[in-house]
């Protein structure tokens, strides 16, 4: 689930919680993840933070049972904290660890690239481990030919001289998703969920600019809310991209057993990657 601040109730509340219609397979182990909108920590005090920690622990326990599981070993908190919310967020993590429902469980957090480089201002969360989110690292809203999902140059800047010294054990999340970023008059207009690979390759709809990732819309496309002349930047990840990234990371990460996340495991996305592709990436870790 997500957790956001409800201005009417003046409380943090769950948003879009997962629903399990059937129990998960017995052999499948789960790690519940709770995304907390950063502004929540601008709105609550220490007492409310304790209440939120308790409610999250109870909510997660109920969802795990709904999934057909008796227990779980790790709870992951996803929050893009800032210098301003750092102290309250870290205090919340300590309150979670003290919760009776979470005794003996590992608490982990998500970690962005800038939080590795800017460790002095970002601080180190008071948890057992973190997962490094290696995607959405470029400027999505900037018009141009860059791939905002995965950018090796950005990884060099934020990780090359800093990752080896990071004090927490790290899991890794890598992207395999793709999307259509829309620009109108060279200004960011959003991400279109109506455009997939087959649409972008339809020559009646789009004209590709050379070998680049920009496509000009040739006609109005009302079903997708697009107009003739709009430009779509089609961003995707190739097996070679993943291989280069995994080799780079393996140079700076200490060898250890770690969870490796491919985001996200979708049937259509997995058509672009063979089992061999993914095994080569896994082997680098």
Q: What letter does residue 73 receive in the DSSP assignment? A: S
Whether 211 has a pLDDT exceeding 80, the answer reads no
**What pLDDT was estimated at residue 114?**
95
Task: Round to whole Å and give the CA distance between 251 and 164.
Answer: 9
Task: Encode 14-39: b = buried (16+ Cβ within 10 Å), e = exposed.
Answer: eeeeeeeeeeeeeeeeeebbbbbbee
Helix (H, G, I), strand (E, B) or coil at 213: coil
* Burial class of 187 by CB neighbour count within 10 A (0 to 12, 13 to 18, 19+): exposed
Q: What is the mean pLDDT of the chain?
A: 95
Mean pLDDT for the stretch of residues 17-25:
94
**What pLDDT was estimated at residue 266?**
85
Listed residue (117, 13, 97, 5) closest to 57, CA to CA: 97
Listed residue (252, 241, 5, 261) closest to 110, CA to CA: 261
Task: Round to whole Å and give the CA distance between 172 and 134.
Answer: 7
Mean pLDDT for the stretch of residues 71-92:
97
**Entry pTM:** 0.91
Q: How remote is the C-alpha of 91 from its chain's centroid?
A: 23
Write out pLDDT tens, residues 217-256: 999 999 999 999 999 999 999 999 999 999 999 999 988 8
pLDDT category of residue 126 using cuts at 50, 70 and 90: very high
**What pLDDT was estimated at residue 251?**
95
**What pLDDT was estimated at residue 55?**
97
CATH number of 2-179+235-283: 3.20.20.80
Mean pLDDT for the stretch of residues 176-205:
95
pLDDT category of residue 8 using cuts at 50, 70 and 90: very high
**Other CB atoms within 10 A of residue 7 CB:** 8
Q: State the helix-helix crossing angle for 86-98 and 46-66, rounded to 10 degrees.
A: 50
**What pLDDT was estimated at residue 138?**
83
Q: What percent of the chain has pLDDT over 90?
A: 92
Q: What letter does residue 221 receive in the DSSP assignment? A: B
Residues 6+ apart with CB under 8 A from 224: 192, 194, 195
Q: Domain limits of the chain?
A: 2-179+235-283, 182-233
**What pLDDT was estimated at residue 160?**
95
pLDDT category of residue 191 using cuts at 50, 70 and 90: very high
pLDDT category of residue 210 using cuts at 50, 70 and 90: confident
């Amino acid at each position: 689930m997500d957790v956001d601040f409800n201005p009417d109730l003046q409380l943090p509340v769950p948003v879009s919680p997962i629903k399990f219609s059937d129990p998960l397979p017995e052999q499948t182990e789960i790690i519940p993840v709770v995304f907390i909108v950063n502004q929540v920590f601008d709105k609550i005090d220490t007492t409310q933070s304790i209440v939120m920690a308790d409610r999250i622990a109870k909510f997660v326990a109920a969802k795990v049972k709904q999934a057909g599981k008796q227990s779980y070993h790790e709870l992951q908190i996803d929050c893009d904290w800032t210098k301003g919310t750092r102290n309250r967020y870290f205090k919340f993590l300590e309150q979670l660890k003290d919760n009776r429902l979470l005794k003996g469980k590992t608490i982990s957090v998500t970690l962005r690239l800038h939080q590795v480089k800017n460790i002095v201002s970002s601080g180190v969360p008071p948890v057992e481990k973190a997962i490094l989110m290696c995607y959405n690292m470029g400027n999505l809203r900037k018009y141009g030919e860059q791939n905002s999902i995965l950018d090796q140059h950005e990884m060099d800047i934020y990780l090359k001289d800093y990752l080896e010294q990071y004090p927490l054990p790290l899991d890794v999340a890598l992207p395999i998703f793709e999307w259509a970023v829309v620009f109108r008059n060279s200004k960011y207009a959003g991400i279109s969920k109506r455009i997939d690979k087959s649409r972008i390759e339809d020559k009646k709809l789009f004209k590709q600019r050379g070998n680049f990732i920009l496509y000009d819309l040739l006609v109005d496309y009302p079903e997708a809310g697009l107009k003739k002349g709009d430009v779509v930047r089609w961003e995707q990840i190739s097996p070679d991209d993943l291989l280069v990234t995994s080799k780079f990371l393996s140079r700076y990460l200490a060898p250890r057993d770690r969870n490796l996340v491919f985001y996200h495991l979708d049937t259509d996305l997995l058509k672009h990657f063979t089992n061999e592709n993914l095994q080569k990436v896994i082997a680098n870790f």
